[in-house]
Amino acid sequence: MEWFWVLIVVVVLLFGASKIPEIARAIGRATGEFQKGKLEIEKEIEKAAKEANKTPERLKLEEAARSFGIDPTGKTDEQLREEIKKAV
């Protein structure tokens, strides 16, 4: 805990009391950007993991569905087959 106070004193001496709010805002913005980037990366990893778990047959069904303008999201293989048959 004593290091915290030493750090505060050093920051005040180096930057002056008037610069502290600017520094705090900059740190806050940087932290926010870091969190956004972290969330984006987590979403990309999750998306890639879902794609990796799909069978080759599922990938072909999705490709065929998209070619007919059918959104394959949230549909079973059987539902996709039925919708593709209707579209043909």
**pLDDT per residue of the chain (88 residues) written in tens, 0 to 9:** 788 889 888 888 888 888 888 888 999 999 999 999 999 999 999 988 877 778 888 888 889 999 999 998 888 889 989 999 988 8
CB atoms under 10 Å from CB of 65, counted, come to 20
Which residue, chain included where needed, has tokens 């209707």?
86
Please state the domain extents for the chain.
19-52, 54-88
Q: What is the pLDDT of residue 38?
A: 96
Which residue, chain included where needed, has tokens 């926010």?
32
Q: What is the pLDDT of residue 42?
A: 95
Q: What is the pLDDT of residue 13?
A: 87
Q: What is the pLDDT of residue 1?
A: 77
